[in-house]
Amino acid sequence: MLLNRLKAGGPAIAKQGILVAFILFMIVFSFMSDRFLTPDNIMSVFRQSAIIGVMALGVTIVVIGGNLDLSVGSMLSFATVLVVDLHDKVGPELAIPIMVLATLCLGAINGFLIGILRLNSLIVTLGMLSAIQGLVLIYSGGQNVDIVDQRGTWFAIFGRGSVLGIAAPIIIFGLLAILFHVIMTTTPFGRKVYAVGGNPTASVFSGIPRSRIVFTTYLISALCVAVAAIILGSRVMGSQNNVGQGYELQVLAAVILGGTSLLGGAGSILKTVLGVLMLAFIQNGLILMGQPYYTQWLVTWVVIIVAVWLDVAAKRGRLFSPIA
């Protein structure tokens, strides 16, 4: 009888299991630390999750379109080093647009190889991850970069500023989330992305320019990385060569945790925002409990495995496949 109930409730668990787990995490963490649900800690988590959140918005659109982007971590390293290095050379007024254009060029390479040449997105972006990191080291000569006059530049407003008591990174993340949510839910482009990700062959026969749509999704992902680099660079006022290392894993975990299907054609910007916050609060709770930093990576791995399992289970209508 218990087995039958589990089978019958499989789809429901698959759809709500992550949310239930998050609620349990929040309850446990609130008992383990009296600082967990304080306003200061909550705002701190929101602010710290903004960089991953902005990047996750672009990756969500790529994944909905049926592809992956594993190059965002190295791309963040490149963009942050570039904008910080150019800050003192040409000023922030030119450093920002130059960095954005350079980052868009990297996104265009991804889009061309995957959208136009139809190469596998996993292989292409994995290769770009290494290539871009090499590009960072060549550009910087292996040296970290810093802004000299950190107090006398308006560049700091993106990472350290606030409006009405709300940190600028939170505002930027929120505005971009609303913008992309509107684009994906109310515009023809958004509907085409869902169509291409859901059934690429059918979308082509329906007259949808699949190659152009995929190409554009990678441009959007690169643009989000550029915005994240501005926030990160202005907050730290410097950059290490590998500052973005590991971000691709956290971004992908947040996207999957938000319910975006790796199979393409399904997902939501607003749910990605929820996934980003869920992952951020879990990591914050582990820190407050005194767990070492590397524990976050173990938890992230578990989150990815469970989220993918639940996603596949929701597609097939059961939690477990029958044994052959």
Give the mean pLDDT of 159-179.
Answer: 92
In a domain, 281, yes or no: yes
In a domain, 104, yes or no: yes
Range of the domain at 98: 17-315
For 6, the token pair is: 């589990």
Give the mean pLDDT of 206-211.
Answer: 88
CA distance 15 to 266: 13
In a domain, 187, yes or no: yes
In a domain, 88, yes or no: yes
In a domain, 92, yes or no: yes
Amino acid at 114: I
At residue 8, the pLDDT reads 46
pLDDT band at 1 (very low <50, low <70, confident <90, very high): very low
* 9, pLDDT greater than 60: no
Cα–chain center distance at 233 = 17
Q: Of residues 37 and 177, which shows the higher confidence score?
A: 177
In a domain, 139, yes or no: yes
In a domain, 324, yes or no: no
If DSSP codes are grouped into helix, strand and coil, which group holds residue 111? helix
pLDDT band at 201 (very low <50, low <70, confident <90, very high): confident
pLDDT per position as a tens digit, 75-122 = 999 999 999 999 988 888 999 999 999 999 999 999 999 999 999 999
Residue in the structure block whose two tokens are 């902005």: 54
* 2, pLDDT greater than 50: no
CA distance 27 to 32: 9
Look at residues 117, 81, 114 and name the one whose alpha carbon lies nearest to residue 98.
Answer: 81
Beta strands in 98-182 (DSSP E): 145-146, 162-163, 166-167
Average pLDDT in the chain? 85
CA distance 7 to 233: 49
pTM value is 0.86
Lowest mean pLDDT among 159-173, 192-206, 212-226, 284-298: 284-298
For 235, the token pair is: 């907050």
Q: Of residues 257 and 212, which shows the higher confidence score?
A: 212
At residue 114, the pLDDT reads 95
pLDDT per position as a tens digit, 43-84 = 888 998 999 999 999 999 999 998 999 999 999 999 999 999
Q: For helices 92-111 and 121-140, what crossing angle results, to 10°?
A: 150
Amino acid at 127: G
Give the mean pLDDT of 186-215.
Answer: 89
In a domain, 70, yes or no: yes
Give the mean pLDDT of 28-53.
Answer: 86
Q: For helices 168-186 and 269-288, what crossing angle results, to 10°?
A: 150
Our count of domains for the chain comes to 1
